């Protein structure tokens, strides 16, 4: 269902009415289109204390074709290397850099702060100063207007050269519905297959095979389409009841379709057989998107509702990951779908929240277990996304879901798909064991 208020508030007349009445005025978000430049406008690059990433960051900006200027009239992005901050007093440099510039940021602009993981700090004071950056970025994300977003990138010592994929994602329109979130770059671990730099950043998945579960519609279909756009050949999987939509999607994308219940006892061997017959047996990207809801408060929730949700959303993810690992090529990518409900909880969703929190646990456990093969394991956690499922939510609840985030609107399936594609990129090898919230920076639990 279309967000009629968003359409009204972003129209010329509606915007004036909303402003006069003091109503929320969410911005129309700029989303990625192939061929767009990475940065929306000139980039201002600053640093504090003794930075260790600014040289690498400048090189990335040059490769992105970004224009770096010291005093542009309206910057498209503000970037600060704060990796060298080791004391509370040095945080004054953060205020000094952003204060005179933040109000001139272009609509749909970006803020990016580079920091160091607090746990790697040499002193308690340094850890406190670096942790302070997260509070700063989360708060700034809630202050920004006109579709602008803020991001924190924590770079482990030795990981400075692995930032390009992440910088491209957060500066570009691909991250339109992500704000106030930290991402971590780990120093490269010894692996059979080292992280790659894509030959073509517009098609980083060329030659790769991807499996997307729950692909027939909604977020799953958007993920399949986005991975295809980025060069992958996609195996689209969904339940037999969605067979027609599933095959239509696969045909449109030049991929293959498999109608299968992920909870079936023979799911793993059937998927493996299909991969062998249609895709040469190997798999580069595994996306766990299949999921269901069966909402009731716990006192009214029967056992079937509980078991169905846990089986589809969690047990199947564990079973398919373990069963298909032999087919996942070294250097592969595994991406699961969690939810902000699993991070913050939600009344009437004890089963769903438990399953999605469990996904986070799986991601964090699998990541180190497969790191030696160069495989990364991450999750996306959508907030309120405009799908058929949320269109069935009662109107007042639906409006609250749309408005209770920093961007004042619901996300689109493509917003989640862009985050999945970021994790799926061969250039994102330094990011693993993480959960990225695609929620417009939800005001509760984010």
66-97 per-position pLDDT tens digit: 999 988 889 999 999 999 999 999 999 999 99
Q: What is the average pLDDT across 282-311?
A: 94
Query: For residue 149, what are its two tokens?
Result: 């977003």
- Among residues of the chain, what percentage have pLDDT more than 70? 97
Please give the backbone phi and psi of residue 435, each rounded to the nearest 5 degrees, phi first.
Answer: -120, 120
Please state the separation of Cα 298 from the chain's center in Å.
30
* Model confidence at 10: pLDDT above 90: no
User: According to CATH, what is the number of the domain 39-185?
Assistant: 3.40.50.720
237: helix, strand or coil: strand
CB neighbours of residue 69 within 10 Å: 14
- Look at residue 1 in the predicted model and tell me its pLDDT: 64
Query: For residue 244, what are its two tokens?
Result: 């027609």
Give pLDDT tens digits for 213-232: 999 999 999 999 999 999 99
Least confident residue range of 76-85, 289-298, 317-326: 289-298
**Where in the sequence numbering do the catalytic residues fall?**
352
CATH class, domain 209-438, is alpha beta
User: What is the b/e burial string over 28-50, where b = at least 16 CB atoms within 10 angstroms of the residue's CB?
Assistant: ebbbbeeeeebbbbbbbbbbbbe
Give pLDDT tens digits for 429-440: 999 999 999 999
209-438 has the same fold as 39-185: yes
How far apart (Å, rounded) are the C-alpha atoms in residues 118 and 310? 35
- E strands in 254-309: 256-259, 283-288
394: helix, strand or coil: coil
- E strands in 6-148: 43-47, 77-81, 110-115
* Model confidence at 348: pLDDT above 70: yes
- Among residues of the chain, what percentage have pLDDT more than 90? 80
Contacts with 235 (C-beta within 8 Å, 6 or more apart), sequence order: 209, 210, 211, 212, 250, 255, 256, 257, 258, 271, 274, 275, 278, 279
Q: What is the average pLDDT across 230-248?
A: 97
- Look at residue 191 in the predicted model and tell me its pLDDT: 58
What Rg value do the Cα atoms of the chain yield, rounded?
Answer: 22
How far apart (Å, rounded) are the C-alpha atoms in residues 154 and 152? 6
307: helix, strand or coil: helix
What's the pLDDT band for 19 if we cut at 50, 70, 90?
confident
Q: What is the average pLDDT across 279-295?
A: 94
- Look at residue 99 in the predicted model and tell me its pLDDT: 98
* Model confidence at 344: pLDDT above 90: no
Give pLDDT tens digits for 178-192: 999 999 999 865 555
Position with higher pLDDT, 197 vs 148: 148
Mean pLDDT of the chain: 93
Helix, strand, coil percentages for the chain (3-state, nearest 5): 45, 15, 40
Least confident residue range of 181-195, 200-214, 244-258: 181-195
- Look at residue 391 in the predicted model and tell me its pLDDT: 67
For the chain, give every domain's residue range: 39-185, 209-438
What's the pLDDT band for 394 if we cut at 50, 70, 90?
confident
How far apart (Å, rounded) are the C-alpha atoms in residues 226 and 207? 15
Alpha helices in 12-123 (DSSP H): 12-21, 54-64, 92-98
* Model confidence at 446: pLDDT above 60: no
Contact 149, 178 (CB under 8 A): yes
How far apart (Å, rounded) are the C-alpha atoms in residues 185 and 428? 9
Element (H, E) at 352: helix 350-370
The CA-atom distances, in angstroms, between 130 and each of 126, 136, 156, 222 are 6, 10, 12, 36
Contacts with 79 (C-beta within 8 Å, 6 or more apart), sequence order: 43, 44, 45, 46, 57, 61, 111, 112, 113, 114
Least confident residue range of 18-27, 62-71, 207-216, 408-417: 18-27
Instruction: Pick the closest to residue 440 from 149, 166, 139 (CA basis).
Output: 149
Q: What is the average pLDDT across 35-42?
A: 93
Contacts with 416 (C-beta within 8 Å, 6 or more apart), sequence order: 219, 222, 223, 337, 380, 382, 385, 438
Query: For residue 416, what are its two tokens?
Result: 């989640």
* Model confidence at 396: pLDDT above 80: no
**First-to-last CA distance in the chain?**
25
What's the pLDDT band for 60 if we cut at 50, 70, 90?
very high
Q: What is the average pLDDT across 12-27?
A: 81
- Look at residue 9 in the predicted model and tell me its pLDDT: 80
Instruction: Pick the closest to residue 186 from 58, 334, 377 (CA basis).
Output: 377
- DSSP letter for 163, please: -
What's the pLDDT band for 444 if we cut at 50, 70, 90?
low
């Amino acid at each position: 269902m279309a967000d009629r208020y968003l359409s009204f508030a972003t129209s010329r007349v509606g915007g004036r009415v909303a402003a006069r009445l003091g109503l929320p005025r969410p911005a129309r978000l700029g989303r990625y289109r192939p061929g767009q430049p990475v940065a929306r406008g000139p980039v201002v690059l600053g640093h504090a204390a003794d930075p260790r990433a600014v040289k690498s960051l400048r090189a990335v900006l040059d490769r992105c074709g970004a224009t770096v200027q010291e005093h542009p009239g309206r910057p498209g992005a503000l970037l600060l290397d704060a990796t060298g901050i080791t004391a509370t007093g040095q945080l004054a440099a953060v205020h000094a850099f952003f204060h005179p510039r933040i109000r001139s940021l272009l609509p749909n602009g970006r803020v990016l702060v580079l920091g160091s993981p607090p746990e790697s700090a040499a002193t308690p004071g340094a850890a406190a100063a670096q942790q302070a950056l997260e509070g700063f970025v989360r708060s700034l994300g809630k202050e920004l207007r006109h579709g602008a977003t803020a991001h924190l990138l924590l770079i482990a010592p030795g990981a400075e050269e692995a930032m390009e994929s992440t910088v491209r994602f957060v500066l570009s329109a691909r991250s339109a519905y992500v704000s106030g979130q930290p991402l971590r770059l780990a120093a490269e671990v010894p692996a059979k297959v080292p992280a790659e730099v894509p030959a073509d950043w517009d098609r980083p998945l060329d030659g790769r095979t991807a499996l997307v579960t729950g692909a027939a519609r909604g977020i799953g279909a958007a993920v399949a389409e986005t991975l295809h756009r980025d060069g992958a050949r996609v195996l689209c999987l969904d339940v037999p009841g969605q067979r027609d939509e599933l095959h239509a999607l696969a045909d449109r994308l030049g991929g293959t379709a498999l109608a299968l219940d992920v909870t079936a006892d023979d799911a793993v061997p059937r998927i493996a057989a299909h991969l062998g017959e249609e895709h040469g047996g190997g798999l580069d990207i595994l996306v766990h998107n299949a999921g269901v809801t069966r909402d009731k408060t716990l006192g009214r929730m029967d056992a079937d509702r509980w078991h169905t949700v846990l089986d589809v959303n969690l047990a199947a993810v564990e079973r398919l990951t373990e069963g298909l690992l032999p087919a996942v090529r070294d250097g592969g990518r595994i991406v699961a779908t969690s939810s902000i409900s699993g991070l913050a909880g939600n009344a009437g969703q004890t089963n769903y929240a438990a399953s999605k929190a469990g996904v986070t646990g799986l991601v964090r456990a699998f990541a180190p277990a497969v790191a030696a093969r160069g495989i990364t394991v991450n999750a996306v956690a959508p907030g309120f996304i405009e799908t058929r499922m949320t269109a069935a939510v009662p109107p007042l609840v639906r409006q609250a879901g749309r408005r209770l985030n920093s961007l004042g609107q619901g996300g689109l399936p493509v917003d989640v798909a862009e985050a999945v594609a970021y994790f799926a990129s061969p250039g994102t090898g330094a990011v693993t064991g993480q959960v990225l919230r695609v929620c417009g920076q939800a005001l509760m639990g984010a």
